[in-house]
Amino acid sequence: MSFEKPQIFIEALIFASDKSITEEEILQVLSDIMEDPLKIEEIREHIERIRVKYQELDLAIELVQINGGYQFLTKKDYYQVVNQLQIQRSKKKLSQAALETLSIIAYKQPITKLEVEQIRGVNCDYTVQKLLEKELISISGKADSVGKPLLYSTSSLFMDYFGINSTKDLPQMNELKSETNTIGEQTE
């Protein structure tokens, strides 16, 4: 490996770091692999050249000094589009509990939270609240039973999320492949 261009290695270190990396950390890494280690002033010069390079190029990222170190960040001009990506990704992430609760609501809708809890066997307050926040379910009315509990159903966003036109497109129980557990030998 040639170390004739330490600037490229410094750029790679900054890029690969998941948090800001200090000049001292860069010096330590490079001194472990280079025969003739750089001085801290040389590292600062290379970092400044990298910063200028990214500033001059029409790129979406820039080198920023943050928390005593350096990190590549998206330019502020692109905040809106990156923020939208984060919103989309946060909507896509569902925990196992959320998936279980959502599937119960999808197949049994309209359903009360108590009925969901009886099927799952655990409290579903938090999960139902998160599904409401993600707009995957909605309140579709109140039950006629004692206390008039809220009824939950899937939303139109649920259909978009799973790429279906209606709940009729959900897999039927006989379509789902089940694995059966058996003990001992099976005879036909």
Tens digits of residue pLDDT in 129-163: 999 988 899 999 999 999 999 999 999 888 877 77
Are 48 and 112 contained in the same domain? no
Q: Is residue 49 part of a domain?
A: yes
Q: How many residues are given for the chain?
A: 188
Cα angle 127-130-133, degrees, rounded to a multiple of 5: 155
Are 52 and 101 contained in the same domain? no
Are 74 and 98 contained in the same domain? no
Find the helix or strand (DSSP H, E) in which 50 lies: helix 40-56
Q: Is residue 87 part of a domain?
A: no
Closest by alpha carbon to 52, among 63, 39, 44, 43? 63
51 lies in which domain range? 6-78
Are 16 and 71 contained in the same domain? yes
Are 49 and 106 contained in the same domain? no
pLDDT at 183: 64
Does pTM surpass 0.85?
no
Number of domains in the chain: 2
The residues, ordered by sequence, that sit 6+ positions from 121 with a Cβ below 8 Å of its Cβ are none
Q: CA 84 to CA 151: how far, in whole Å?
A: 31
